[in-house]
Amino acid sequence: MRFQLSFLLQATASLAQLTSSMLEKHVDSVTLGSSFNPIQESYWTGYPHHRRTPFAVSPDGTSGYLAYLDASGTGVHIQPVDPKTFASKGTPVTVAGAKEAGGLVAHDDGFALLTNEPLAAGTANAPGTTPVPVLYRYTDGKQTWKTFLGGPSVTTSAGFVASPDLNGDLVFSEKAGYYAAYFVVTSYSGGFSGHFGDAIRYVTPAGKIEQINGASSDWGCSHNTGIAFEAADAAPFASLCAEDQGAIWLNTKTQGMGNNGVKVSNEVTINGGSNEPMGGMGGSYSSLSRFTAKDSYIFSWVSRGAVDLTLNDWMGNGYTKSKPRTTNRNVAIALFSDKNTLVGDQAISTVGAASGDDQINWITSGSADHSNAHVAAFSGDAALVTYEEIASPSCTFDAMGCQGVFTGTYYQLVDGTGKKVGEPVKSMDSFVAGDMVTMGDGRICWPYINMDWRLDGTVRSLPKTTATKVSFACIDLGGAGSVTPPAEEPVNSTPAAAPVASSSAAAAAPPSSSAAAAPATTPAAEVPVPAPTAVDVEEVPASSAPVAVASSALPVGGSTDEDTTAPASSAAPITPPAASSEPAAVPAPSQAAPSSAAPLPTTSAKVCPPRTRRTVTQTVYVTRA
C-alpha cells in the first residue's frame, strides 16, 4: 500500500473520544426575514433531503453569513450572523430571481455567492427560463460585481450551458488568488445539446473568469451524482466526482472521469444514481475537508460496497461495473496526503474480481442505512464525520436512497490516520443541513432547522414544513458543554477504535446561552404517510466492513443511462449528437419509480411512461469523434 509515512506520522498522538457534553446547540438562534422550506425532494425516489443552507465565516472571525432559498422557490437571502452567539445581526441581502443557494464564501468586508438564475427576457441565445450559473460578490451589503459562469456570454467546448440545479460548491483561496466553483451543467447548443456534465470555473477577485489549463473544465463527469470540492494553495483545487458509470474519482488532475485519474471507490450505478454518495440532491458540500495548515484532506461518503466486477463495455478498459455488497448504505472515509494523492490503494478495476471494495475505510457496518454524510477537520489532526441513520430501512430502489424511521444523527471523531476514536455521539434533535465550518476557536459548527425530521415517506406524503428560524450546533473538543441539553448519550452503534486518553487540540470560546424552542411548524399532511416496506437483511457479524446481503431486487450489473424524457425546463430540442457514443438502452431498475420521480434527461427517442417532471442534475457522458 502506498502510505505516505511522513503524512501518517504527523497524526495527533492521542485524542479523547467525543461525549455528549461536547455537542452544543443554539436552538432557533437566527431569525429569518423570510420563510424557508427546509426539505428538498431526492432524485427518483422523492424521499426527503435537507435543503442546504450555506454558512461561512470571515477570515477575521467577526462576520458570519447564512444563505437560504426563499420558500417561494425564487430569491436567495443572505443573513448576517454573529459567529459568537449565532444570532441574526445586520440587514440581510436578497438576490432576487436566484433559484438555489449553491455556495458561500465569507470575506472581512462581505461575501461571494454561487447561485443560478434565469436570464432576462429577450436575452439572445438564452436557454428559455432554465437558470444559468452565476457568481455574485457583495461588499458592505452592496453588489460589487456579477459574473455569469454559463449562458450565452460564456463560450465553452460543450456549447452554451445552463444549470437547472447546481448541486455543487464554491471555494476561495487567498493564496491562489481565485474563487472556484464546481457545479452541474447541461448543454443547450451544439453537439452536446440535451446532455448533462459538470464544470469548474476559476474567477479572479475582480470577477473575471480565467481559463486555466489543467484546472478549468467545461465538461467533466457523466451524470455527476456528487461533487466534493476544497480550496488549495494553487490551481487546480482538490476535487472529487461521483459519476454514473461506476466510480468515484479524485479528479484534481483530470477534472473528469478519465481512467488516468485516481479511483477512490467502485460504486453501483443505475439510471443516473449512485447511492447518493455525497448527499444527492441538496448535497455536495462538506464532503471534503482540508486539515488546517496542511496539504492533506479527508473525504466522506456513503456506499453499498462493490462485488463481482465486470467490464463496462461502453467505457472500455479501466472501467468496471459492480453489484452492491449490501442493500443498505454505510459510511466510508478516505485520506489524501495532498490534493492529488490517495493514502492507500485505489479501488481496483480488475474484471472478474469477486470483491471491489477491499480498500475502503468503513466508519459504519451492519444493516442500518446511513445517509447525509459530511466531514470537517478540527484545527489539529482530527476530523468530525457526521451521518444520519435508519436502523430498519426499506431500500427498494437500486442505487438510490432508503426510507424508514429516522433513528439519529451520529457524530464520530477520527484521527489523522483515519482511525475512529471512541464511539459516536447520537442526537435525535440536531442535524447537518448546511456547511460545517471550523471556527477560529477550534469548534466545528453548522446550521440546521429545529424540526421533526422524518425519513419514513416521500416529501409529498409527509407534513409540509416551513421555518422562519435557523439553529446552529457545534462540536467542541474542549467539552465546554451544551447550550441546550443533548438528546442522547454516546451509543454503541458500530465497532469503534478504543479511545486514547488525551487533552483536546484546541480550546473553544464559551458558548452563548440560548433557550430551547419549539420545532418548525408542520401542519397536518395532506396525504397519509405510507408504512415503510420491510427489508430482509441477514444478521451481520461484527466486522470492519459491511457484509453482503442477498436481494432479488439488485441489478445484474452496473448501469448505463436509462432513456427518459427531457427536463421540462429545457429550451432546446434534444437530439443525439452525430458523433455520440451513446450506450444501449438498459432495463429499468428492479422497481419502477413512483409517480413523483423525476425523469432522467437523455437524448433517446425511446418512449417512456409519463411521470411528474422535476429538475435533476444527472448527466450523460459524451465523446466526440
pLDDT digits (tens, 9 = 90+) for 536-595: 333 333 334 454 433 333 332 333 333 333 333 323 322 223 333 333 333 333 343 333
Backbone angles phi, psi at 5, to 5 degrees: -60, -40
Question: For residues 87 and 29, is the Cβ–Cβ distance under 8 A?
Answer: yes
DSSP state of 484: S
pLDDT at residue 214 above 80?
yes
Q: What is the mean pLDDT of the chain?
A: 81
pLDDT of residue 227: 97
Q: What is the 3-state secondary structure (H, E, C) of 606-622?
A: CCCCCCCCCCCCCCCCC
Question: For residues 388 and 18, is the Cβ–Cβ distance under 8 A?
Answer: no
At 479, the pLDDT band (50, 70, 90 cuts) reads low
E strand map for 48-128:
48-50, 55-57, 64-69, 76-81, 93-95, 103-107, 110-117
pLDDT of residue 225: 87
Residue 584: how many other CB atoms lie within 10 Å: 9
Q: Tens digits of per-residue pLDDT, 229-260?
A: 999 999 999 999 999 999 999 999 999 999 99
DSSP state of 346: P
pLDDT at residue 343 above 90?
yes
Which residues contact residue 381 at a Cβ distance below 8 angstroms, ignoring those fewer than 6 apart? Answer: 10, 11, 12, 291, 415, 416, 505
Domain spanning 5-475 has what CATH number? 2.130.10.10
| CA nearest neighbour of 244 among 321, 307, 184, 311 | 321
> Which of helix, strand or coil describes residue 69?
strand
pLDDT at residue 403 above 50?
yes
For cell 432524485, the residue is: 43
| CA nearest neighbour of 229 among 183, 282, 265, 264 | 183
Q: Grid coordinates in use for 222? A: 457523466
Q: Tens digits of per-residue pLDDT, 345-394?
A: 999 999 999 999 999 999 999 999 999 999 999 987 899 999 999 999 99
Backbone angles phi, psi at 160, to 5 degrees: -75, 140
Q: Grid coordinates in use for 73? A: 422557490
What Rg value do the Cα atoms of the chain yield, rounded? 22
**C-alpha span between 172 and 563 (Å, rounded):** 38
Give the containing element (helix H, strand E) for 5.
Answer: helix 5-9
Q: Tens digits of per-residue pLDDT, 96-135?
A: 999 999 999 999 999 999 999 999 999 999 999 999 999 9
pLDDT at residue 184 above 80?
yes
Q: Identify how many contiguous H helices and E strands the chain contains and give both numbers.
A: 1, 34
Question: For residues 353 and 309, is the Cβ–Cβ distance under 8 A?
Answer: yes
Q: Tens digits of per-residue pLDDT, 414-459?
A: 999 999 999 999 999 999 999 999 999 999 999 999 999 999 999 9
Domains of the chain by residue range: 5-475
**C-alpha span between 296 and 286 (Å, rounded):** 15
pLDDT of residue 351: 98
pLDDT at residue 607 above 80?
no
Q: Tens digits of per-residue pLDDT, 24-54?
A: 999 999 999 999 999 999 999 999 999 999 9
**Residue 80 one-letter amino acid:** P
pLDDT of residue 546: 56
Q: Measure CA 85 to chain center.
A: 27
Range 68-73 contact pairs with CB under 8 angstroms and sequence separation of 24 or more: 68/32, 68/36, 68/101, 68/470, 69/36, 69/37, 69/98, 69/99, 69/100, 69/101, 70/34, 70/35, 70/36, 70/94, 71/34, 71/35, 71/36, 71/37, 71/466, 73/37, 73/99
